[in-house]
Amino acid sequence: MTLHDPRTPDDDRPLDTVDLGPGVDADVDRRLIGDVTGRRVLDLGCGQGHTAVGLARRGARVIAVDEDVTQLGATRALAALEEVVVECHQAKPAELAFLPGDHVDLALAITTLSWVQDLNRVFRQVHRVIGPNGHFVLSVPHAASLCADPEDPARTVARWDATDPIGDRWTHTVEDLATALGRANFAVDTVLERHDGALLPATLVIRARKLGV
């Protein structure tokens, strides 16, 4: 199972911007992620490394995690091409025992959680490895867009709050994500719902801050 949408080798997206999803403007990256110089950043479900390598080029110390060894190989290759260092680990999003507590300043999960059913396990692990007052930025395909018929977006093929996967993806609503983040002792400070010109929102972006220890 691949945790990120597969990217073709000729992916020419600029590496200076984190692609949070369809319809999300580039300035959102700078507002929610900001200056990462010298910061330790965890990229959950790194895919072929666009986010990890892009942030390393911006001065971050990046830890990239993916359960697909092929994707990690692509990440390493891109890092070598761009002459940056990215620490890579093969693991599922909730399997972060190799990281000590309070180890990272920022965690990212860009589309990754769409392939994860149990949010609570992931969020507990992310809370453990983020340092005090660190942030967690995540994006997922909006539940409404997943439930729409790709041939006729005005017609739905499943409930927007479906409890069964749609294809190989799980739908996570704002309610699902905010509740699970709260249980893991995160405070949500930003929620964005963005569309790419379609009838329904395409991307849901949330930023949350770690509370407690």
Domain containing residue 145: CATH number? 3.40.50.150
**Residue 136 clears pLDDT 70, i.e. is over it:** yes
Residue 8 lies in a domain: no
pLDDT of residue 6: 37
Please tell me the least confidently modeled range out of 13-27, 102-116, 140-154. 140-154
Number of domains in the chain: 1
Residue 108 lies in a domain: yes
d(CA 72, CA 91) in angstroms, rounded, equals: 10
Residue 1 lies in a domain: no
**Residue 129 clears pLDDT 90, i.e. is over it:** yes
pLDDT per residue as tens digits for the range 71-87: 999 999 999 999 999 99
Q: Residue 33: which pLDDT band, with cuts at 50, 70 and 90?
A: very high
pLDDT per residue as tens digits for the range 170-195: 999 999 999 999 999 999 999 999 98
Mean pLDDT along residues 146-156? 79
The per-residue b/e assignment along 9-38, b for 16 or more CB within 10 angstroms, e otherwise, is: eeeeeebebbbbbbbbeeebbeebbeebee
Residue 57 in contact with residue 16, Cβ under 8 Å?
A: yes
Domain of residue 37 covers 26-210
Mean pLDDT along residues 44-67? 97
Residue 14 lies in a domain: no
Q: Residue 199: which pLDDT band, with cuts at 50, 70 and 90?
A: confident
d(CA 46, CA 110) in angstroms, rounded, equals: 8
**Residue 5 clears pLDDT 60, i.e. is over it:** no
pLDDT of residue 16: 84
Residue 46 lies in a domain: yes
pLDDT of residue 80: 96
Residue 86 lies in a domain: yes
Residue 133, burial from CB neighbour count under 10 angstroms (0-12, 13-18, 19+): exposed
**Residue 39 clears pLDDT 50, i.e. is over it:** yes
Mean residue pLDDT of the chain comes to 90
Residue 5 lies in a domain: no
Residue 184, burial from CB neighbour count under 10 angstroms (0-12, 13-18, 19+): buried
Please tell me the least confidently modeled range out of 6-10, 20-24, 114-118. 6-10
